[in-house]
Every structure is written in structure tokens, then in C-alpha cells.
Amino acid sequence: MHILHGALIKMPRMIKRVLRSLLSRPATVRYPFVKPEPARGTRGGISFNMDRCDLCQDCERVCPSSSIKIYQDSGRIEYQPFRCIYCHICVRTCMQRAITPSEMVRGPAYEKSVDVYEVHR
Amino acid sequence: MNETEQPVEVNTVIPFGPQHPVLPEPIQLRFTIHQDKVVGVVPNIGYIHRGIEKACELNDYKKNVSLCERVCGICNFMHAMAYCEAVEELTDTEVPDRAKYLRVVWSELSRLQSHLLWLGLFADSIGFESLFMHIWRDREIVLSLNEKTSGHRIHLSTCAIGGVNKDMDKGLISEYKSGMELLERRIRELAPVFYKDRSVKDRTVGKGVLPKKRAMLLGAVGPTARGSGIPQDMRRLGYEAYSNLDFEPVVHDEGDVHARLLVRLEEVFQSIRLIKECLEKMPEGPVMNKNRRFPNGATVVRIEQPRGELFYNVMGNGTKRLRRCRIRTPTLANIPALVDILVGYDVSDIAPIVMSVDPCISCTER
Ligand code: SF4
Ligand code: SF4
């Protein structure tokens, strides 16, 4: 009796929530079949535009995970996407706007690859 | 058995963790059980020590912001903020007013995220799966605001030495306002379940009682202390913009699991109110000041995390590397209380009692 009484009192509130849950879209997406839309400004991987870069090493200095190595002599940049924590501090630091942020993070892989960029002289 | 022989009193030792469905993170508690009652507990930590304090000494002090942020996944913004506050004090850097308000907004957002996560996990620990799912669905509102703010759902990475590195435009502020309205409505719908529902009350009322005197003696902090009637809240020290905001710590006197549950639930509403108040009061202006010195000297910063008082002791020596960065997190302070409140209760109550102090182990071990 006690339980029945409780249920009757709670019913209107619960019905509202149940109906809303029933009629609204699911909160999750069916991932492998549906790709979730990244929000505007999602921090993902980065790529270097070597036409703009002047090898000033600012990005190397600020990168908290030491994912960027700049070789000024050979005009080469090595970027390790598997060390990168996608903080985009380098993007904000680069005065030449040579680092292009993307919304995609690097997918899983068997080997830790390194992206190499070279200045065309 | 011979009639003259007495039954032998046997205690059983049961290891709980480091891997256990209730525990989000690895800690081991060795229970001594006598006839289904817990008579002794020995905690054993050290499963995920990462050496962050030492790494802070080897790193550039500016890079440490990202490192300190990774001490804890849940309250990442507050760790970065505490570290930045310490360095700002050592380098005499003034933080602009707008940045102070933004820091409060994002800390309260972390608190919301953490408390909603906990409320869900707690519901799960008492076997209330549907409540768990309802709460975690509503937590998505907070996570999507995080994502719109900074581009990541968990790690905001917006705190920097001298202020914050992101500003909020009008569109984002109105999204925050509508998000907070929606979240408040949703959680208000669920709140009566925590207050009145029998399946919640049966598992929580009168369980894991920590009297006020005992809580003081054991040095409990945060919602664990506030659930025992101690009005201790570091936000009342008035760091960042908290001195301009109007709030009182949420306190319940009962000291049991239910009291700690209600403290966290009411703090959800408090955080929502604080975020709205900040968005109203936030002044226009710059969000970042440059610091031009290396940290020198020593300082202590205490801030209120979702789990209690966070303590940073940062020492600089005038170079770009720090001499020491000592971090004490709230869960470490709450472990003596956790060990104390488990004794005398049934084995079936272990899960909700352990969850009730909200243990965050990766914080604890740094
Ligand atoms: S900061 Fe920019 S310009 Fe300088 S090295 Fe890095 S990418 Fe090149
Ligand atoms: S996004 Fe952050 S971690 Fe990645 S390369 Fe840039 S600065 Fe380094």
C-alpha cells in the first residue's frame, strides 16, 4: 500500500521525464556508423605550412610535451603526433601563423610515426 | 565439534581493489571482516604514482601549467589555476578582472562536471542504474559547454600564467546561460529522488557516520567535512572573484553518507547560481597580463576543489626551473576519515561508503 501510494504521487513527474526521453533523440550516436560532428574549434592535430615558417623555434620552446623539433641548419621540422597533447599553445605562439590546427586527432596506429616537414629552398 | 569446544572467532581479510567495479581508480583497501562486519581497514596507495612533482622541477615553469593540469582529469582546470595563482604571486603578476571571473566560471563548471559524475557513480554503486544514466545524460550539457569553450570536453587548457588564454564572446555567454537554465531544470527534476526515494535512503541514511569532532580530528576536507557540519570552504578565502560573489557553504549536520550526498547535490545548484552570477557581473576588458620575471621565493595557495581543499606549495629560485612544487590533494586528506567511517558497517555498505568521500586516486598520488 505504501509503495503504491508513493508510486501514484511520483507518477506525474516520472511520466513527464519518461515521455520526454521517449520522444527525444538519443543522447548517444551509433559511433562506427555515424561520425559525431566535432564542435567548432575542436583542438585536434596540427600541420606546418613551410612557406610561412621562418624556423624561429618559438613553437619548440613552448610545447609542453616536446613534440616539435626544429633543425635550423637543415630547415627541417619533426612533429610527433603521438606525443602531442593537442593543447594548441604552439598555434597561438607562432607569429608567422605557420601552424594550421585541424579538428581531427591522429587515429590509433601500430607504430609511432613522425611527421617531417622541410623548407623548399 | 565437541560440545565443550567454543566456536573459534575467525576474522577474514578481504582485499578490495585495486581493480573493483565500484572504484573508478586503483586504490587497495584491505578489510578485516568479522561476521559480515568490517572491523579493520588498511589502505594501500601507490598504484598510479606518476612523479609529477619531480617533473615540475625539471620542466620550464610555464610548461608546468599543462603538466599540473594533468594531475587530475576531473578538476584539471583548478589544478592549473592553483599553479598559476602561485606563480603569479611569485612573479608579482596582476590578473585582469575579467580573467578572474572567467576562472571562477570555469572552476564552477569543473565542479558541476565532477559532482554530476559523482552523483551518477554513486547511484551506480547502490545499484540504481537508471538514475546513473539520467544524471550522466544531463552531465553532457556541461561537457558540451566545455567543448564549445575550449575545443576539448574534459581538458579545458584555458588557464595561463597572468590570466586566461580564451575569452567568451556574447554568443558563448548566452549559450552558457541557457545551458545552466536547462541543467538546473533537469537536476531539479531528479533531486527529489535523492531526498526522498526509499531505495536511496535505505542505502545511505545512518551509514558511514562521521561525527563533527571526529571529522575535525581526522582532518577531513571538502564535502566530507561539510557533511559532518563543519562549514569549511576555501572559496571563502576570496581568491579570484569569489570575494565579490555571494554564497554560503552548503552544510549538513548528520555526518552520514546521505548528508554527504545532499551536500554535493546542493552544491550543484550553488555552482549553477555562481556561474550565472559571474556571467552577470563579469566586466569587459583584457584577459591576460604578461609576466616578465622568473618565479622567486615561496608561496602557498589553497583553493576549493570539488573534493575539498587543494594545496600548492611552489618554491622558485629566480630561474626558469622551480625548486619545488608540492601538491596536496583533498583525497589524501580524506583517507584517514575514509578508513574511520568504514569500521562497524556491513560488507554490503562498503561500496556506498567508499564512494561517499569521492576518492580521486590519481590526484592523490600525483
Ligand atoms: S613558431 Fe611558427 S615560424 Fe617559428 S618555427 Fe614554429 S612554426 Fe615556424
Ligand atoms: S598542440 Fe601543444 S603539445 Fe601539440 S605540438 Fe602544439 S604545443 Fe606541442
Span B308-323, pLDDT tens digits: 888 899 998 888 888 8
Flag whether pLDDT at A89 surpasses 60.
yes
pLDDT exceeds cutoff 90 at B269:
yes
Pocket test for ligand 1, best of A91, A94, A115 (most atoms within 8 A of CB): A94
* B210: pLDDT strictly greater than 80: yes
B60: which DSSP letter? B
Nearest residue (CA) to ligand 1, atom 6: A59
- Among the partner-chain residues A27, A41, A64, the one whose CB lies closest to the CB of B63 is A64
The percent of residues in chain B predicted with pLDDT above 70, rounded, is: 98
The lowest-confidence range among B11-15, B278-282, B301-305 is: B11-15
CA B238 to chain centre: 18
**Nearest ligand to the C-alpha atom of residue A86:** 2
* CA gap B153, A30 in Å, rounded: 19
Average pLDDT on B221-241 reads: 87
Residue A12 pLDDT exceeds 80: no
- Bond into B18 cis (ω within 30): yes
Q: Taking all residues of chain A, what is their mean pLDDT, rounded to a whole number?
A: 82
**Does the beta carbon of A98 lie inside 6 Å of ligand 1?**
yes
* Domains of chain A and any CATH numbers: 46-118 (3.30.70.3270)
Task: Enter the pTM of the model.
Answer: 0.87
The protein residue with its alpha carbon nearest to ligand 1, atom 5, reads A55
Residue A51 has pLDDT above 70, yes or no: yes
Residue B204 phi, psi dihedral angles, 5° rounding: -120, -35
Average pLDDT over residues B173-190: 90
Q: Does A64 touch chain B (CB under 8 A)?
A: yes
Residue B112 confidence (pLDDT): 92
Any idea which of B94-98, B132-136, B194-198 has the lowest mean pLDDT?
Answer: B194-198
Give mean pLDDT, residues B42-53. 87
Q: How far apart are CA A47 and CA A55, in angstroms?
A: 14
Catalogue the E-assigned strands of A39-114: 46-48, 68-71, 76-79, 99-101
Q: Residues 6 or more apart from B326 whose CB is under 8 A from it? A: B53, B311, B312, B313, B314
> Helix (H, G, I), strand (E, B), or coil: what is residue B221?
coil
Residue A4 — pLDDT band, cuts 50, 70, 90? low
Arithmetic mean of pLDDT over chain B: 87
CA angle B322, B328, B330 (to 5 degrees): 150
The single residue listed with the C-alpha cell 507518477 is A11
Q: Looking at residue A6, what is its pLDDT?
A: 59
Atom of ligand 2 nearest to the CA of A91: 6
The total number of residues written for chain A in this structure? 121
Whether A1 has a pLDDT exceeding 80, the answer reads no
User: Average pLDDT for residues A39-49, to the nearest whole number?
Assistant: 83
Query: Residue B272: pLDDT above 90?
Result: yes
Q: Is the ipTM of this complex over 0.90?
A: no
Instruction: Compute CA distances B329 → B153, B220, B238, B341, B358, whole Å.
Output: 23, 12, 19, 20, 12
Question: Do residues B155 and B149 lie in contact, with contact meaning Cβ atoms separated by under 8 Å?
Answer: no
pLDDT for residue B301 is more than 80 = yes
Alpha helices in A1-121 (DSSP H): 2-23, 58-62, 89-93
Question: How far is the alpha carbon of B338 from chain A, nearest alpha carbon, in Å?
Answer: 34
From the CA of B109, how far away is ligand 2's center (Å)? 25
pLDDT at residue B133, rounded to an integer: 87
CB contacts of B137 in chain A (<8 Å) are 27
CB contact under 8 A, B152 and A92: no
In which residue ranges of chain B is CATH 1.10.645.10 found? 64-294+351-359
Check whether domain B64-294+351-359 has CATH 1.10.645.10, yes or no:
yes
Binding site membership of A63 for ligand 2 (Cβ less than 6 Å): yes
